[in-house]
Structure 1
């Protein structure tokens, strides 16, 4: 044996049977009741054959080394005074000084490096600090599995091939602007029209929901049953806020209701040029009657009918600091597709 091996002095001449690990340094399995006195360790061999006395004493004969237990007291090696036995059977074992960890990988090998450093097979290098949701893999900051790096450097959820999002989300609020340039809102007759704001007509601030609690953060897709809550109240007084657009159909004008069971079941389908078409989950939505500014109704016999609107996200709570985050990269209205007919 060389100076790094152990000289076994076994009581009663019992041979050593403990498992030995040899990667980086020699390490022995010991029993949890192992005791160290000076440069000797007394323990029960965990691999001892039944019926044998297997209390052993090991002596570290390399100059300056002493028996050193791992933190879990399941293994020991001969380390220099003040060093710690670090590692695992799956990686390697080594005697490391204070302020050091055993760093590395199966490809690069393992070495004692200062805490917060990694080992590349030749040198200890500082571990990079990863930002924007990235994680460290083989010394590189990369996006976690299932995400991709966006143009701004952040990690975004990878969308299945062919999947596109509407850009609408539950819990968020929007205004609906009709093709006549007017915003949809409540008139003092309790019915919704796309008409100019006045003392009797006020635009609606509509919150999109997929359940009665309006659980936030869910995407709004054309296949989703969507409920619409008007966060504004009565035109004159502001009373009766937060009511649902109702399920009036076949000529009856869509108004509002405080009862969720009577709420209209809508769908919003994305159209070109930033528009969305407002339809019904089982019925269509269209003009209720021939009028200069018609109301809307559900058409049970025409499920594909829908009414186009421009939707603009607006703050649900005008006093929330999070409103600052609605406008990303300057003006939200820039970079839209220009659908103006060009001669």
Structure 2
């Protein structure tokens, strides 16, 4: 995008003969080639014409008189244009030049032209579009793996493995409690962090909904290779405020707490263990105790991706007020063998 216009007042000092005019480039914006001794003072730039003939002295003074613009040198100090404060002069004689805001690059191609776009994007001739790496494709503004492939821990795409005939028994959209081997349940303490402890006035078990995306699309199987997000449907102890927030991505000793921002949500992995247990780990990092404490908080361990903490996961109603809860368990059996009563009366 053309962000400034070069309208200098030009003063040329000569010793002999008629000088050549300074070399000019006009793709996107007007840019002058300058000498390494160029000096900027306020809205004025003083330099020697690089094309000056031997034996001549060709000093030029040019002024940026458009409101808010100042002389701005390219990174190699060989070109200048009038840009707004804070902008950078980017480009080359072979492509184009433009004044770009922080966090932007001059991108494009000879066919599409060149434009200032946010870093990580490119110019397609009509608009800035995100560029995708690791074999991903741009779909609805997001870089995703092509159909038939899945994203691996390092962010690349690989062909889906043949689905196993065994299931973890966990599904997205459903809610669970996490009970430790000593009988304590994972939940929020009044200090805002998660511990496995006994329910009390300062500790309350969590009702955790398992999700694979921000909207928590229901009915998808949770497998150990899946990136899983955990939402605590309960809120603050005593008030219930801030309910439905994500367990966050605190790591390397920082205690896991909550966040309302999905980008800061922790990326978990849940692996099925023998005897009805599941081990709670991380998708790329491990999960372990944060401190040597009788009831330690949790943290992600970036250097130990296999670390996890075993829990018994028990399905519980996400909506306590739903009549469908009558069909979750068989009569007389409150622990095992859940039954699907859909379509039954």
> 2:329, 2:337 within 8 Å by CA — same for their partners in 1?
no
> 2:231, 2:245 within 8 Å by CA — same for their partners in 1?
yes
Alignment partner for residue 290 of structure 1, among 263, 287, 292?
292
2:314 is aligned with 1:312: yes
Q: How is 1:264-283 mapped onto 2 (pairs within 5 angstroms)?
A: 264-283=266-285
Please state how far the C-alpha of 1:161 moved relative to its aligned partner: 8.2
**Correspondence for 2:170:** 168
**Secondary structure at the residue paired with 1:174?**
strand
Dislocated runs of 4+, deviation >4 Å: none
> 1:289, 1:295 within 8 Å by CA — same for their partners in 2?
yes
Q: How is 1:1-343 mapped onto 2 (pairs within 5 angstroms)?
A: 162-328=164-330, 330-334=332-336
Q: 1:164 to 1:321 in 2, by over 3 A?
A: same
Cα separation, 2, equivalents of 1:161 and 1:257: 33
Q: 1:258 to 1:335 in 2, by over 3 A?
A: closer
Cα separation, 2, equivalents of 1:276 and 1:270: 4
TM-score by length of 2: 0.50
> 1:222, 1:270 within 8 Å by CA — same for their partners in 2?
yes
Please state how far the C-alpha of 1:181 moved relative to its aligned partner: 0.6
Q: Deviations over 1:30-83 (max 9, x none)?
A: xxxxxxxxxxxxxxxxxxxxxxxxxxxxxxxxxxxxxxxxxxxxxxxxxxxxxx
**Secondary structure at the residue paired with 1:261?**
helix
Cα separation, 2, equivalents of 1:321 and 1:223: 34
Please state how far the C-alpha of 1:163 moved relative to its aligned partner: 2.0
> 2:197, 2:295 within 8 Å by CA — same for their partners in 1?
yes
Cα separation, 1, equivalents of 2:257 and 2:178: 15
Please state how far the C-alpha of 1:180 moved relative to its aligned partner: 1.7
Instruction: For structure 2, list consecutive stretches of 5 or more residues without a partner in the other structure.
Output: 1-161, 339-345
Cα separation, 1, equivalents of 2:237 and 2:286: 27
Please state how far the C-alpha of 1:335 moved relative to its aligned partner: 7.1
> 1:188, 1:236 within 8 Å by CA — same for their partners in 2?
no
Cα separation, 1, equivalents of 2:164 and 2:246: 34
Please state how far the C-alpha of 1:325 moved relative to its aligned partner: 1.9
Q: 1:175 to 1:221 in 2, by over 3 A?
A: same
Q: What is the RMSD of the two structures over their aligned residues, measured on CA atoms?
A: 1.7
Q: 1:237 to 1:161 in 2, by over 3 A?
A: closer
Please state how far the C-alpha of 1:221 moved relative to its aligned partner: 0.5
Q: 1:224 to 1:197 in 2, by over 3 A?
A: same
**Secondary structure at the residue paired with 2:326?**
helix
> 2:222, 2:270 within 8 Å by CA — same for their partners in 1?
yes
> 2:286, 2:301 within 8 Å by CA — same for their partners in 1?
yes
Larger Rg: 1
TM-score by length of 1: 0.50
**Correspondence for 2:38:** none
> 2:207, 2:234 within 8 Å by CA — same for their partners in 1?
yes
**Secondary structure at the residue paired with 2:173?**
coil
Q: 1:215 to 1:162 in 2, by over 3 A?
A: closer
Q: 1:242 to 1:161 in 2, by over 3 A?
A: closer
**Secondary structure at the residue paired with 1:324?**
helix
Please state how far the C-alpha of 1:328 moved relative to its aligned partner: 3.6
Cα separation, 1, equivalents of 2:326 and 2:273: 27
